[in-house]
């Protein structure tokens, strides 16, 4: 089906909670890792393999959400997750505007967008034994660096959890997860051994959530 817009590709997320992040079950987070508070931070990174907005081609571009969970989590009353959207500096003006529209729209079910910025984003995926088991490296100069390794079953397949929508979210652990941007309220961390999720994503006007 041809939509007004669409984007699909690979998504990897690294956060600051031990695997698997309890936020996946809407459970309290490990306060001992977050200055005594039940809260979490992290980055979703998207490598768009195929995408468009009307006649604008978005294939090959990258986007990131750097986020803060509500604090404490889960909140007693509804509170927004907050994020900064980073758009690939390789996008031209029309592509950048299209990506901002798409990823703002997709964040609405999560909460508030604080800022939108341009960034250099490198996204590397390495299949292990032909996949779907994979490791990732995401680099945004002077901003973010994530290196991951997957969790696997004894027969070499990805370990996974089910998303709220019934799809498989593959899980792993960070070998490096370093971020620094003072424009995000809790915007500085340097941790390893924390939760990683990865999967193929697709978003369009009838599916605004990127989880499988």
| Residue range 42-91, pLDDT digits in tens | 999 999 999 999 999 999 999 999 999 999 999 999 999 999 999 999 99
Helix (H) or strand (E) holding 173: strand 168-180
Bond prior to 132 in cis (omega within 30° of 0):
yes
Whether residue 7 contacts residue 46, with contact meaning beta carbons closer than 8 Å, is answered with yes
Average pLDDT on 168-193 reads 98
Per-residue pLDDT, 95:
98
| % of the chain at pLDDT higher than 70 | 100
pLDDT value at position 75? 93
User: Is residue 39 predicted with pLDDT exceeding 90?
Assistant: yes
- Does residue 139 surpass a pLDDT of 80? yes
Decide: pTM greater than 0.75: yes
3-state secondary structure of 95: helix
Q: Tell me the C-alpha distance between 148 and 138, whole Å.
A: 9
Q: Is the pLDDT of residue 164 over 80?
A: yes
Give the pLDDT band of residue 96 (cuts 50, 70, 90): very high
Q: What is the reported pLDDT for 176?
A: 98
Residues 6+ apart with CB under 8 A from 97: none
Question: Where do the DSSP E strands lie in 32-143?
Answer: 41-53, 56-57, 62-68, 81-88, 111-119, 122-127, 134-140
pLDDT tops 90 at residue 1: no
Average pLDDT along the chain: 97
135 confidence band (pLDDT: 50, 70, 90): very high
């Amino acid at each position: 089906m041809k939509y007004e817009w669409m984007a699909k590709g690979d998504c990897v997320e690294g956060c600051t909670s031990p695997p698997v992040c309890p936020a996946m079950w809407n459970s309290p987070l490990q306060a001992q890792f977050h200055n005594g508070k039940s809260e979490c931070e992290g980055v979703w990174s998207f490598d768009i393999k195929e995408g468009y907005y009307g006649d604008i081609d978005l294939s090959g571009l990258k986007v990131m959400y750097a986020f803060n969970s509500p604090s404490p989590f889960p909140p007693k009353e509804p509170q927004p997750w907050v994020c900064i959207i980073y758009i690939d500096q390789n996008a031209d003006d029309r592509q950048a505007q299209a990506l901002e529209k798409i990823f703002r729209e997709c964040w609405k079910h999560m909460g508030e967008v604080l800022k939108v910025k341009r960034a250099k984003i490198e996204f590397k995926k390495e299949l292990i034994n032909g996949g779907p088991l994979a490791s990732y490296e995401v680099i945004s100069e002077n901003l973010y660096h994530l290196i991951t390794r997957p969790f696997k079953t004894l027969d070499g397949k990805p370990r996974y959890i089910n998303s709220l929508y019934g799809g498989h979210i593959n899980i792993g652990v960070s070998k490096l997860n370093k971020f620094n941007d003072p424009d995000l309220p809790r915007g500085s961390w340097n941790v390893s051994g924390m939760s990683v999720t990865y999967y193929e994503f697709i978003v369009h006007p009838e599916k605004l959530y990127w989880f499988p």
